């Protein structure tokens, strides 16, 4: 019996440190493990004993790509515990900040990390020689997103201006106004990018996923909504733990999350898009129709198109929020700590991000739980890989490897922000 081992030690274009192991025995895929071996970071433990008001700044440090997502879930969870409701101008500012993160994160992934897969380049640097205009567009979009983070968050990475109750400082209309033309130009870049990536050749692959995302009565979801799925799930965020469970698998230091009733599920842009198409703006809906995916999308390789559509939406939404900006009466509501439990889920660029805190009467955190999108998608990524590897088993190993890597990147996994390589090992027996 022939045995082969294929190993890729440094796969770039994935955030975090992990490995993929494929076991192939007697010509069939016998096992798939998305192994996350990066040491646990103990954020939930180190939050214990800290003030609830510190949670947004501490958890922002979890990720350099999506710190706003961690801040937003944390701050809304603490506000939930303290019974704080934000007024409309503060809600709008929080949404505008999230638009900035979606823009910079999606631009990074669509152009710099994922597009090279479809255009046949090993990385964005090689791609830039042939597609300089696309890379320039991506960088311009990223810069536009960063400009929102810088103004509203105080700086581009790990923003420091969000506080329980609102913000430390709200921008003046005069400070916000120059960003309107920046967002208009970004929207044009995003439109061109969406049309460009929709022209890629996509592997024929789709699955009957259970998509899970937030759903809001009027808005495309970012900071608020119920947790819904395409198989009838429709719960308040407070009931998250009754519907979902995390469990440990031996090959991963990240917990895997499942629906208690039905198992694996999928969060992220595809889930948001499929569950909230009617909440997108008319122009983005029309663009989706033009690009042929208005009826829904269950091909994870086309997630790049959906991310590009969300880029257009986020730019447009930022323009709308800037145009309608009314400074809040105060940058923050008053905060009175009280004992209790606070929960929140928001839509990180990569999908649903759930936080839960237990606080004592002084506002000290007694327990914290954070369920990031990548751990929720982990088992679904393994399912995709099992199907793709089975389908492509007859291909040369380099092609099999490329397809598997690309399938992982469909999910823009943010395994962690501390290092960035993934080792792919194929064992043939």
Partner 1 sequence: MSTRALVIGLGNPDRGDDAVGLIVARRIAALGIPGVAVREAGGDMLALLDHWAEAERVVLIDAAAPLTRPGRIHRLDPSFGPLPRDLALGSTHAFGLADAVELARTLGRLPAGMVIFAIEAARFDHGAALSAPVAQAAREAAAMIADALMEERADA
The site for partner 1 (CB under 8 A) is made up of 12-15, 64-65, 108, 112-113, 123-125, 128-129, 132, 135-136, 139, 142-143, 146, 156-157, 417-420
From the number of C-beta atoms within 10 Å of its C-beta (0-12, 13-18, 19+), residue 224 rates as buried
Q: Least CB distance from residue 154 to partner 1, whole Å?
A: 14
Q: Least CB distance from residue 315 to partner 1, whole Å?
A: 18
Q: Least CB distance from residue 388 to partner 1, whole Å?
A: 23
Q: What is the helix, strand, coil percentage profile of the chain, to 5?
A: 45, 20, 35
Chain centroid to CA 401: 24
Q: Least CB distance from residue 121 to partner 1, whole Å?
A: 11
* Nearest CB to partner 1, comparing residues 129 and 396: 129
Q: Least CB distance from residue 314 to partner 1, whole Å?
A: 18
From the number of C-beta atoms within 10 Å of its C-beta (0-12, 13-18, 19+), residue 176 rates as buried
Q: Least CB distance from residue 405 to partner 1, whole Å?
A: 14
Report d(CA 307, CA 251) in Å as an integer. 30
* Nearest CB to partner 1, comparing residues 78 and 115: 115
Say if residues 426 and 4 touch (Cβ distance below 8 Å).
yes
Report d(CA 7, CA 425) in Å as an integer. 5
* Nearest CB to partner 1, comparing residues 22 and 108: 108
* Nearest CB to partner 1, comparing residues 142 and 215: 142
* Nearest CB to partner 1, comparing residues 129 and 250: 129
Q: Least CB distance from residue 399 to partner 1, whole Å?
A: 23
Say if residues 112 and 126 touch (Cβ distance below 8 Å).
no
Mention every residue, 6+ apart, whose C-beta is less than 8 A from residue 120. none
* Nearest CB to partner 1, comparing residues 240 and 411: 411
* Nearest CB to partner 1, comparing residues 54 and 383: 54
Q: Least CB distance from residue 302 to partner 1, whole Å?
A: 22
Report d(CA 6, CA 171) in Å as an integer. 53
Calculate the alpha carbon distances from 411 to 285, 377, 382, 421 in Å: 22, 8, 11, 16
Q: Which residue is associated with the tokens 């997103």? A: 145
Phi–psi pair at 376, nearest 5 degrees: -75, -30
* Nearest CB to partner 1, comparing residues 155 and 169: 155
Say if residues 213 and 351 touch (Cβ distance below 8 Å).
yes
């Amino acid at each position: 019996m022939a045995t082969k081992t294929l190993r890729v030690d440094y796969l770039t274009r994935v955030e975090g440190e992990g490995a993929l192991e494929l076991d192939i025995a007697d010509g069939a895929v016998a096992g798939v493990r998305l192994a996350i071996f990066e040491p646990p970071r103990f954020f939930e433990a180190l939050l214990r004993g800290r003030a609830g008001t510190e949670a947004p700044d501490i958890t922002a440090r979890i990720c350099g790509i999506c710190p706003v997502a961690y801040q937003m879930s944390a701050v809304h969870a603490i506000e939930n515990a303290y019974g704080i409701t934000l007024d409309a101008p503060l809600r709008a500012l929080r949404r505008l900040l999230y638009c900035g993160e979606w823009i910079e994160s999606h631009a990074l992934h669509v152009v710099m990390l994922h597009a090279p897969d479809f255009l046949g380049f090993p990385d964005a640097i090689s791609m830039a020689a042939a597609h300089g205009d696309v890379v320039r567009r991506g960088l311009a979009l990223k810069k536009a997103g960063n400009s929102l983070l810088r103004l509203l968050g105080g700086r581009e990475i790990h923003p420091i201006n969000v506080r329980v109750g609102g913000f430390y400082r709200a921008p003046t209309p005069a400070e916000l106004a120059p960003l309107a033309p920046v967002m208009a130009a970004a929207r044009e870049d995003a439109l061109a990018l969406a049309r460009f990536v929709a022209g890629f050749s996509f592997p024929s692959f789709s699955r009957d996923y259970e998509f899970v995302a937030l759903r809001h009565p009027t808005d495309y979801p970012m900071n608020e909504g119920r947790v819904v799925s395409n198989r009838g799930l429709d719960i308040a965020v407070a009931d998250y733990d009754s519907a979902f469970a995390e469990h440990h698998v031996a090959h991963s230091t990240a917990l895997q999350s499942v629906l208690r009733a039905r198992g694996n599920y999928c969060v992220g842009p595809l889930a948001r898009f499929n569950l909230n198409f009617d909440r997108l703006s008319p122009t983005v809906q029309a663009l989706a129709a033009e690009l042929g995916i208005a009826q829904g999308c269950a091909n994870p390789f086309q997630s790049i198109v959906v991310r590009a559509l969300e880029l257009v939406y986020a730019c447009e939404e930022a323009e709308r929020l800037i145009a309608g900006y009314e400074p809040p009466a105060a940058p923050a509501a008053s905060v009175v700590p009280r004992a209790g439990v606070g929960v929140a889920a928001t839509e990180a660029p990569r999908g649903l991000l759930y936080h839960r805190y237990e606080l004592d009467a002084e506002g000290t955190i007694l327990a914290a739980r954070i369920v990031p999108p990548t751990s929720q998608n982990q088992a679904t990524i393994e399912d995709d890989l099992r199907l793709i590897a089975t389908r492509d088993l007859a291909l040369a190993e380099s092609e099999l490897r490329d397809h598997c890597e690309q399938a992982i990147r469909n999910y823009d996994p943010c395994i962690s922000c501390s290092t960035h390589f993934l080792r792919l090992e194929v064992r043939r027996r």
